[in-house]
Each structure stands twice: as structure tokens, then as C-alpha cells.
A and B are shown apart, each in its own frame.
Chain A
Amino acid sequence: MTGLETNFSGVDWVIVGCYLLGTVAVGLYVNRFISDMADYVVAGRAVRTWLAVASMTGSELGLVTVMFAAQKGFTGGFSAFHIAVVAGVVPLLVGFTGFIVVPLRRLGVMTIPQYYGLRFGQGVRVYGGILLAVAGILNMGMFLKAGAIFVTALTGLNDPMQVNLVMTALIILVLIYTTMGGMVSVIITDYLQFIVLSFGLLLACGLAVSELGWDNLVGAVEEIHGESGFNPAHEDGFGISYMAWMLLTAGLVSSTIWQTAVMRASSAESEEVVKNLYKWSSVGFLIRFLLPQFLGICGLAYFMGIPEVRSELLAPDGSIVDNSELTMSVFPHFLGQILPVGIIGIVGAGMLAAFMSTHDSYLLCWASVIVEDVVVPLRGGEMSTRSRLQLARLLIVLIGAFLLIWSLWYPLGQDLLDYMMISGAIYFTGALALLVLGIYWKRASRVGAYLALTAGGLAVFGLYPVQEAVGLEKIEAAHIGLFATGAALALMILGSLLFPDKKTTNQGGTDE
């Protein structure tokens, strides 16, 4: 956005530098405690409730989450809060029932494809592992772009070379402490980030409300979005199908199917801790959408009052301009305006640590999946702990290099949240069918599992650049995602009924 000054100063850069270097030092320090793969991937399964809650919330409250949630608040108004509601209520229900996560913890699996292996055989494990890693890495693809937009807008750095240097330095720091400390360093840095970011965002909300006033916020949303800015079911806004898609993705999938959340459950000390973790984390799942969405609304009200910026953000018909990168930058620009010197450094450091934390969790996660669920089964299970750790560390570096290239090359073309959900759907639509039916339906079979995983791949057509490449007219990502989910469930049932397993393995099936 043109002509905007930021409050970010030299003092804030010093705060950011000290904070980030301290984070790396923690990663290096905890390396001394790692003695095997279980320590590296799930912290020796010795994480207790409070730390698990901090880690889960810290990891899920990443810079990217905050950016896409704030963007939804800006482009959707108060209606976007429906996403926060489903994101909070579903994990709470999971906490009370133990749905999916308790059977997984009981089996002691570290990754979801490991469960596929127990329930449907090693072939499904390898196939599911490949799909999971591909979808997961694509899902991370826009993280660097979001991070670069954040740094540019918050700090006022305008030189692309400087921004690239900052982003590269951040990635290198993440790679150092993730490769060294594994899940233990991830959990400790998540904890630090949870504290800084929680209090930083709460403070930002307080300052924003005192500066703008509640009535102005409501008035701005009413002026720009009308009724659809308050009623999520309104046809001019999100609509019923989008709400259903969010119930599935931001609710059920984020908390129970997405590999990083499952890894937290796997790291828990006991089944009781898993349940407590979900009950408590439900507040974090709610807040990770609610606070940034609210700050996105505050950004809307703030910038609509500045005529030069207003004209940049609005299309000629008065609606929000269709430019994802611009609308994503509203949140960090707003922070740069509203927070005072010093506080902006702390919040900026927390956000950058959040950026690093999300990267470390995801890098560790996808590298572990490739090693444990693809390479090791293909080698007949014969691979030493040392070789596994070395390969995981090498993969972390390779994935990091891929992300640098992908974030520069891929044209986003849709809201970041929608990109994230649909790229993740390549994996989770099939995974949902395999987990739910695999755990709770004894007749689920191997053929059904292969069909469901393959059907989930249809979700790739929800990416707008893919739609353009194959000549499709623009179809809402939510519609494609819901269709792929339905197809995966239907094919899982059909395939299982038509081609039942000859000998029931049933190691994951329960009568629950």
C-alpha cells in the first residue's frame, strides 16, 4: 500500500534479532537430549498437558494462519467468525469423545500413514505417505510468500533483495534448529512463541478497539459488506456450502486429520492427556481464527478512513479488490500503524518466531512421513536409526529449498486460506475416509482405501491455476473440496463392499 509509514524502528530490529537467535540457541541446546527416532519425532512421548496445549496452540497460531485469518476478516467481515466457531467447537467435541485421536494414540502411531499400514497393509501406507507428503509440501508452498508480505508491510522494507535476504536467513535458522533438535526443539520454541504471540495479539486487539471504537468497526463492515458482513449464510457472502467446507476443514480436519495435529496427540503422555489437550486447545483453535479475523476487520475500518489507501483497496463497484497479495498485506500494515515502538518489535518477533515454528513443525512432519512411511517400508523396514535421522535431516533441507522456489513461481490467485484448504484436501479428503471408516467400520478394505485416496486427489482441481491450465470455468474451491470428500467416502464404502479383504487385519478397527 502506497505512502504508509510504519512504527517499526531500529530498536524493534534489535528485539527481533535477539529473540530469533535465542530460539535457535534453544534448538541447539535440546539436541543433547535426543537418543532415538521417537525422541526426535514425538519427543519421547513424554509431553504433558500444559506443554502440549502450548505447543499445539503455538504451532497452529503461526504467522501464516494469522495472515490468512486476518485476510478473511478483511474480505468477509464479522461473518468470517463462523470459521472461528467451528474451529473451536469441533476440537472440544473431539476432546470429550476422543474421536479418531484416541484410537490413534492407543495404537502408538507417529504418522497417519503408519495407521494405514496397520489397518490396510504396507502398500496403502506407502501410497498414502506419498500423497500426504506431496499435499503437505504444496500446502506449505505459500508460507514464504505470506512471510515476505508480512516482513515488507510490517518493517517498511521495500527492497525485494532485503526481504529475500531476511526470508532466507529465517529459513536457514529454522533448518538449523529443526535438524538438530527435532520435536523437542519444536515444542520448546512453540511454547515461547505461544506466550509472546498470545499476549501480543491480545494487546493489539485492545489497542485497536481503543483507537477505532466498536461502533466504527461495525459501521465499516456494514458499509463495505452490507448484510453479508454479519450473516455468514448470506448468498452474497460465504454461503452455506462454504460454511460446510469450513466445518470439515477448519473444524474436523485441522484438529484430527491433519498430520501436525496428530503428531501432537501422538507426543502426549497418555490417552487422558490427549483428551485434555483437545479440550484445552479448543480455545486456542477458536482464538487462532478469531483474534486475527478481528484485527483484519480493524484493518478494514482503519484503512477505509484513509482516502488514498481506500481507493487502492476497493474495486470501482465498491467491493473489496480481487488481489490476494494486497488484501493479505492489510494485517501487517495495520500492526505497523497501531502498535508503538518496542511493542511492535516484540509482536513482530513473535510473528516471525511463529513463522519459523510453523515451518519447523511442517518440515519435520513431512520429512518424517517420507522417511517412515515411504522409504523405510519400501526397504522392507531395514534402516538404522542413524540412517533415518540423517535422511530426515537431508529431506528437511531439500524441502526448504523447494519451498523457496515454489513461493516465487506459483501465482496464488485466491485467498490464502482457500489455497491452504484445497491443497491440503489432496490428502485429507482420502485420509478422512480411511481414518473414520478404518477405525469405526470393520468391513473397510484395502481396495476401498486405494480408491478413496485416489479420489481425494480430485481436490487438486480446486486450485485456480490448475482450473485455468485445464480450461475449466472458475469453480469454487469449497464445491470441489466437498465433492472430493463425498467421492472418497463413497468409493471407500463401495470398494470395501465389492472387494472385501480376504483376511481381516482389523488392527486399527474397533467396535466403538
Chain B
Amino acid sequence: MSDWITVWSILLAAGIGIYAVMAIFVAIGGAKDIRKLFRSMDKKKRDKEKGSKRT
């Protein structure tokens, strides 16, 4: 049983550590991606509107 306790405690510590670091990266990178997403969708919509006006 002690082997299992060791396995689960290592898993928990490693999982929490890796996730904490990843959460910081994702929070910063995600904010940048949102800005890019809005820009690209806005551009697509304006291009569509321009196209429909021409026709």
C-alpha cells in the first residue's frame, strides 16, 4: 500500500506543479490569441460586406 501512496503523492505534486505553470502560460497566450481572433473575424466580416456591396 505504501508504494501506491508514493505513486499517488508524486502524481499529485507533479500534476499540480505542471498545471500551475501551464495555467500562467495559457492565461497570457490566450489573451493575445483573443485579440488576434477578433481582428481576423472583424476583417473577414468587413471583406464580406465590401464584397456584397460590389455585387
Contact = CB atoms under 8 A, between A and B. Distances in A.
B28 to A, nearest CB: 8
A146 interface: no
Interface residues of B, number: 33
B41 A78 contact: no
Nearest to B37: A46
Interface stretch (A107-115, A284-292, A340-348, A350-358): A284-292
A460 to B, nearest CB: 35
Given A202-B16, A230-B8, A47 B26 contact: no
A283 B40 CA distance: 29
A286 B42 CA distance: 35
Contact of A230 (B4, B12, B27, B28): B4
A231 interface: yes
Contacts of A325: none
Contact of B5 (A88, A230, A294): A230
B26 A184 contact: no
Question: Most chain-B Cβ atoms within 10 A of its Cβ — which of A33, A43, A57?
Answer: A33
Interface stretch (A193-201, A475-483, A499-507): A193-201
Contact of B11 (A46, A49, A195, A290): A290
Q: How many A residues touch the partner, as a band? A: 35 or more
B12 A53 contact: no
Contacts of B19: 198, 202, 283-284, 286-287, 291
Contacts of A188: 34
Nearest to A44: B41
A50 B29 CA distance: 5
Given A33-B42, A227-B1, A191 B11 contact: no
Contact of B23 (A43, A48, A199, A227): A199
A458 B40 CA distance: 45
Interface string A73-104: 00000100100110010000000000000000
A48 B8 contact: no
A214 interface: yes
A325 B55 CA distance: 60
A48 B15 contact: no
A173 B46 CA distance: 29
Nearest to A195: B27
Interface string B4-22: 1100110110011011101
Interface in A269-322: 280, 283-284, 286-287, 290-291, 294
B41 A46 contact: yes
B11 A85 contact: yes
Given A198-B19, A283-B22, A290-B11, A39 B34 contact: no
A116 B3 CA distance: 46
A51 interface: yes
A66 to B, nearest CB: 14
Nearest to B27: A195
Nearest to B29: A50
B44 A44 contact: yes
Given A33-B38, A205-B16, 5 more contacts: A30-B38, A36-B48, A51-B30, A78-B4, A286-B15
Interface of B: 1, 4-5, 8-9, 11-12, 15-16, 18-20, 22-23, 25-34, 36-38, 40-42, 44-45, 48
Q: Shortest 6 CB-CB distances between A and B: which pairs?
A: A50-B29, A51-B33, A230-B4, A33-B41, A54-B30, A198-B23
